[in-house]
Amino acid sequence: MTAIWGIVNVTPDSFSDGGRYLDVDRAVAHGLRLREEGATVLDVGGESTRPGAERVGPKIEQQRVLPVIEQLVAAGAPVSIDTLNAATADAAVRAGARIVNDVSGGLADPEMRAAVAASGADYAIGHWRDFSDDMYAHAQYRRAAREVAGELKARMGEAAAAGIAPSRLIVDPGIGFSKRGGQNWGVLSGLDEIVALGPRVLIGTSRKRFLAETLDADPATVTEKRRDLATAVTSALAVRAGVWAVRVHDVAATRDAIVIAHAWEG
Ligand code: PMM
């Protein structure tokens, strides 16, 4: 069955659940609930990557995520660390994280690939062109899926050159990262080009703005509930496209959508 990454954002400013789980105990409880609902991996992040977000620095980031990771790992949950920083990736793996989720694919921190190579963790590399404060300046594509696949292939080569075995790689087309509304649909409708790269594919559409823009001319009026339903639909379609995992906030809804999509496949 398609894997489900449940999102545990330990940040005060993420656009969707920011602030609610700042407190360590609540973040841990939230993660464990997601696990009960069917999450196979808990993706813990301490720095928001939403458009326009400011960087927080590795020190604050680690203060936020490390206690949460330690407790989730102690409770037996598989954990990934969502970070752009090599120092945080390293500390998180020492605390028990098994996967480093780097939305920049190794571009944000020149030390990241060496840190991951030494850690033995799996490495999820996202398609990314620039930091969040300037990401839309690079949102230019002729054929989005093909260009994203080509750039991910370059990131795969760089990871291999740093000593990370191909079997440890996961690729993610980076929905919403340097991509405007329709460009995201261009990537999703061409997902076979990403799947054809070879590694496991991870997709993150959850509650993202392009879903709300598609549902209503005024995206601000689209409730979280509607974004979660749209996310469950993209999760089911991602199953049909052959992805390995989806990264979501509402694990329960996406779990049901995935079960039904697999039943359809027989
Ligand atoms: N999106 C966000 C954060 N981390 N990681 C991966 N691998 N893929 C994504 O699409 C992704 C990510 C931004 O969303 P959030 O602020 O709701 O976590």
Ligand 1 pocket member 50 (CB < 6 A): yes
| CB 211 near ligand 1, within 6 Å | no
Q: Which helix (H) or strand (E) holds 27?
A: helix 24-37
**Angle CA 18–20–21, to nearest 5:** 100
CB 91 within 8 A of CB 68: no
Query: What are the residue ranges in the chain where pLDDT is below 50?
Result: 13-16, 18-20
How do residues 211-226 score in pLDDT, each as one tens digit? 999 999 999 999 999 9
Residue 237 tokens read as 């379609």
247 lines ligand 1 (CB under 6 A): yes
Can you give the pLDDT at residue 55?
Answer: 81
Among 83, 101, 194, which is best to mutate for testing ligand 1, by the most ligand atoms less than 8 A from CB?
A: 101
The values of phi and psi at residue 247, to 5°, are: -110, 115
Residue pair 61/46 in contact (Cβ under 8 Å)? The answer is yes
Residue 239 C-beta-side C-alpha neighbours within 13 Å = 22
Partners of 228 in beta bridges: none
For ligand 1, whether the C-beta of 178 sits within 6 Å is no
Q: Tokens for 11? A: 């940040």
Residue 25: CA atoms inside 13 Å, Cβ hemisphere, count?
Answer: 0
Measured between alpha carbons, how far is 147 from 154 in angstroms, rounded to an integer?
Answer: 11
Provide the pLDDT for residue 22.
54
**How far apart are the C-alpha atoms of 259 and 232, rounded to whole Å?**
11
Q: Is 175 in the pocket of ligand 1 (CB under 6 A)?
A: yes
CA dihedral 19, 100, 243, 238 (to 10 degrees): 10
Q: Residue 51 corresponds to which amino acid?
A: P
User: What is the model's pLDDT at position 17?
Assistant: 53
**Ligand 1 atom closest to Cα of 48?**
16
Q: What is the total residue count of the chain? A: 266
pLDDT at 54: 73
Q: What is the pTM of this model?
A: 0.94
Read off the amino acid at residue 201: V
Clarify whether 226 is annotated catalytic: no
Domains of the chain, first to last = 3-265 (3.20.20.20)
The C-alpha atoms of residue 57 and residue 157 are separated, in whole angstroms, by 28
Catalytic residue among 208, 209, 227, 255: 208
> Does residue 247 carry a catalytic annotation?
yes
Beta bridge partners of residue 124, listed in sequence order? 101, 170
| Interatomic CA distance for residues 153 and 139, integer angstroms | 19
Mutate-to-test residue for ligand 1 from 50, 55, 85, 103, highest number of ligand atoms within 8 A of CB = 103
What DSSP assignment string belongs to 50-72? STTPPP--HHHHHHHHHHHHHHH
CA distance 162 to 149: 20
